[in-house]
Amino acid sequence: MSDGSEPSRLAEKVREGELRLHELEDHTDSETAAAARRQLLEAETDAELETIGDFALDAEQATDANVENMVGAAQIPMGVVGPVQVAGGAADGEYYLPLATTEGALVASVNRGCSVIAGAGGADARVTKSGMTRAPVFRVGGIAEAEAVVSWVGENTERLREAAESTTSHGELLDVDTYVVGDSVFLRFVYDTKDAMGMNMATIATREAAQVVEDETAASLVALSGNLCSDKKPAAINAVEGRGRSVTADVKIPRETVEERLHTTPEAIEEANTRKNLVGSAKAGSLGFNAHAANVVAAAFLATGQDAAQVVEGSNAITTVEARDGVSASDASGGSSDESDGGLYASVSLASLEVGTVGGGTKLPTQSEALDVLGLRGGGDPAGSNADALAEIIAVGALAGELSLLAALASRHLSSAHEDLGR
Ligand SMILES: CC(C)(COP(=O)([O-])OP(=O)([O-])OC[C@H]1O[C@@H](n2cnc3c(N)ncnc32)[C@H](O)[C@@H]1OP(=O)([O-])[O-])[C@@H](O)C(=O)NCCC(=O)NCCSC(=O)C[C@@](C)(O)CC(=O)[O-]
Ligand SMILES: NC(=O)C1=CN([C@@H]2O[C@H](COP(=O)(O)OP(=O)(O)OC[C@H]3O[C@@H](n4cnc5c(N)ncnc54)[C@H](OP(=O)(O)O)[C@@H]3O)[C@@H](O)[C@H]2O)C=CC1
């Protein structure tokens, strides 16, 4: 880093039109470039950017792959919930889940849910489907040509696989789903992206495959993303077909635990879930039949370096709750322990949770430390197991949030909780 005059000199050059704002890193280190931009912004907006400029991350690393025109860093408070026992297909053990949020009462609520789940012996969780998608749109002459392209794709999936997989040592092409609308052909490529969330990987691989389609058929590529993917937009296709990881967590909680820890009954939580999450969501035309899965998904995404815009897909979740007779506490190994006099079964199924433990924002310092808390930094053994485990733990966090909020609503504690903790 240079002395204090260097940012002023660079800021002046930008002001005089000798340098563009985004070119500063070509002339200095990233930290100095960010300082120069802050000076410019401060002069032009009267804002003071002292705190934005007081960051601990490595500016070189951030500007390498995570941000352009860097001025500093946004800081979000991070809390932690747990420990909670997770018996998953990949996750196995007691976990603390870091959550970054500015919503008071959220961490307390999820923590309460985790303590209830822990008291019931833990939750089960499984990734039931996995596949990151990219769906280019091609122009054809009409439906006859569209049909010919679709047939060619069906007969040449192997060639497309070869082209796609030539760009990655980890990614595997699983499927190519075809859709036709008039003279538009959409090919929805589905990849196993292992421990990467996989959007860059899938996009680069699909570019190669799309080239083969263009070379061998009458189709002409219009856009490498044709929105049937569907990335970062509310879309039924993700809720139905899944995107990233489809993951479910569930738990059985004895009646006494519900009454003591959640101050309500299994029946009241079931009714709140039915009338709110199922009937209310249906009437609203919602894709998310849950209370606030997005809260946990967003906070876990921010803490662990996921792409925050994909909270849109992460909120495609259905919560089910049932008051059951003779319910047994989970024993966190898929079995059950002592029978009690009834209790609660609750589940959350997130259809399209897009997570990774390598790539994207996961490499940054606070984010990778948060992944360390989970024991999930970097690639798993076998590849994909770390991202599966992360999906399962977030699902259990979402389940904890659902339980706690539904209970707060059933016991009429929601507004007082937020009065006490959130303002
Ligand atoms: C606030 C509570 C938890 C109090 O709940 P309580 O049962 O009165 O609290 P408690 O003092 O008896 O503590 C119970 C447990 O909660 C946890 N807990 C308790 N306090 C803390 C704290 N400060 N920090 C960390 N953890 C805390 C902790 O696990 C504790 O157990 P312990 O460790 O003591 O044995 C409860 O009233 C609650 O969960 N309310 C619901 C709040 C909520 O879920 N907000 C979510 C956001 S709402 C929103 O964004 C979406 C919305 C609502 O618009 C969506 C929709 O339309 O539904
Ligand atoms: N391009 C786009 O259209 C979009 C991009 N994004 C952004 O994409 C980024 C995420 O893309 P993503 O592809 O996940 O990440 P990266 O682009 O950071 O690539 C991750 C790479 O890590 C390598 N890798 C090493 N170990 C593993 C492992 N165990 N499992 C899987 N891969 C491994 C792979 O290399 P190799 O392939 O050589 O094997 C993989 O391609 C985020 O920053 C996100 O914001 C988001 C939405 C759209």
CATH of the domain at 146: 3.30.70.420
Considering the entire predicted model, what is its pTM? Answer: 0.94
**What are the beta bridge partners of residue 133?**
190
State yes or no: pLDDT of 293 exceeds 70.
Answer: yes
Does residue 88 lie in a domain region?
A: yes
Is residue 307 among the annotated active site residues?
A: yes
User: What CATH number did the domain enclosing 275 receive?
Assistant: 3.90.770.10
Based on the fold, state whether residues 336 and 206 are members of the same structural domain.
no
User: What is the Å distance from ligand 2's center to 14 Cα?
Assistant: 34
Task: Return the beta strands (E) in 119-237 as ranges.
Answer: 123-134, 137-139, 172-181, 184-192, 220-223
Based on the fold, state whether residues 163 and 195 are members of the same structural domain.
yes
| Segment 65-71 mean pLDDT | 97
- The predicted structure's pLDDT at residue 87: 98
| Segment 243-256 mean pLDDT | 98
Task: Give the active site residue among 25, 195, 250, 307.
Answer: 307
Q: At what angle do helices 365-374 and 385-410 cross, to 10 degrees?
A: 80
Hey, which of 64, 311, 358 would you mutate to test ligand 2's pocket, going by the most ligand atoms within 8 Å of its Cβ? 358
| Segment 70-75 mean pLDDT | 98
Domain count, the chain: 3
Protein residue with least CA distance to atom 30, ligand 1: 112
Which among 159, 188, 223 is the end of a domain? 223
Task: Give the active site residue among 12, 103, 162, 208.
Answer: 103
Q: What is the pairing mode between strands 336-339 and 328-330?
A: antiparallel
Which range among 72-81, 161-170, 185-194, 333-342 shows the weakest confidence by mean pLDDT?
333-342
Q: What percent of the chain has pLDDT over 70?
A: 96
State yes or no: pLDDT of 199 exceeds 90.
Answer: yes
Q: Could you tell me the pLDDT band of residue 328, with boundaries at 50, 70 and 90?
A: low
Based on the fold, state whether residues 90 and 50 are members of the same structural domain.
no
Tokens of 94: 């007691």
Based on the fold, state whether residues 82 and 164 are members of the same structural domain.
no
State yes or no: pLDDT of 109 exceeds 80.
Answer: yes
Hey, which of 194, 201, 371, 388 would you mutate to test ligand 2's pocket, going by the most ligand atoms within 8 Å of its Cβ? 201
Based on the fold, state whether residues 125 and 148 are members of the same structural domain.
no
315 lines ligand 1 (CB under 6 A): no
Cβ neighbors of 182 (< 8 A, separation 6 or more) are 142, 143
User: What is the Å distance from ligand 2's center to 172 Cα?
Assistant: 13
Pick from 400, 111, 410: nearest CA to 259: 410
Based on the fold, state whether residues 141 and 278 are members of the same structural domain.
no
| Segment 40-56 mean pLDDT | 97
Based on the fold, state whether residues 294 and 177 are members of the same structural domain.
no
Is residue 214 among the annotated active site residues?
A: no
Based on the fold, state whether residues 271 and 214 are members of the same structural domain.
no
What per-residue string of b and e applies to 352-378 under the rule 16 or more CB within 10 Å gives b?
Answer: bbbbbbbbbbbbbebbbebbebbebbe
| Segment 71-90 mean pLDDT | 98
- The predicted structure's pLDDT at residue 332: 45
Does residue 70 lie in a domain region?
A: no
User: What is the Å distance from ligand 1's center to 109 Cα?
Assistant: 3
Is residue 103 among the annotated active site residues?
A: yes
Protein residue with least CA distance to atom 17, ligand 2: 200
Based on the fold, state whether residues 191 and 216 are members of the same structural domain.
yes
Does residue 234 lie in a domain region?
A: no
Residue reference for tokens 């699909």? 206
User: What is the Å distance from ligand 2's center to 171 Cα?
Assistant: 9
State yes or no: pLDDT of 402 exceeds 70.
Answer: yes
Q: Could you tell me the pLDDT band of residue 335, with boundaries at 50, 70 and 90?
A: very low
84 lines ligand 1 (CB under 6 A): no
User: What is the Å distance from ligand 2's center to 315 Cα?
Assistant: 22
Protein residue with least CA distance to atom 32, ligand 2: 196
Based on the fold, state whether residues 198 and 336 are members of the same structural domain.
no
Contact (CB, 8 A) for 197 and 356: yes
Does residue 184 lie in a domain region?
A: yes
| Residue 179: how many other CB atoms lie within 10 Å | 16
305 lines ligand 2 (CB under 6 A): no
106 lines ligand 1 (CB under 6 A): yes
- The predicted structure's pLDDT at residue 336: 47
Q: What percent of the chain has pLDDT over 90?
A: 92
Running DSSP on this structure, what letter comes out for residue 21?
G
Which among 38, 65, 92 is the end of a domain? 65
Helices (H), 46-105: 59-65
Based on the fold, state whether residues 122 and 251 are members of the same structural domain.
yes
Task: Return the beta strands (E) in 140-256 as ranges.
Answer: 172-181, 184-192, 220-223, 244-254
Does residue 181 lie in a domain region?
A: yes
Does residue 72 lie in a domain region?
A: no
185 vs 138: CA distance, rounded Å: 5
Tens-place pLDDT, residues 315-324:
999 999 999 9
Does residue 348 lie in a domain region?
A: yes
User: What is the Å distance from ligand 1's center to 296 Cα?
Assistant: 13
Identify the burial level of 227 via C-beta atoms within 10 angstroms of its C-beta, where 0-12 means exposed, 13-18 middle and 19 or more buried: middle
State which residues form the domain around 297: 78-130+244-420
- The predicted structure's pLDDT at residue 420: 78
| Segment 82-97 mean pLDDT | 98
Which among 223, 257, 292 is the end of a domain? 223
Does residue 228 lie in a domain region?
A: no
Based on the fold, state whether residues 98 and 46 are members of the same structural domain.
no
- The predicted structure's pLDDT at residue 4: 65
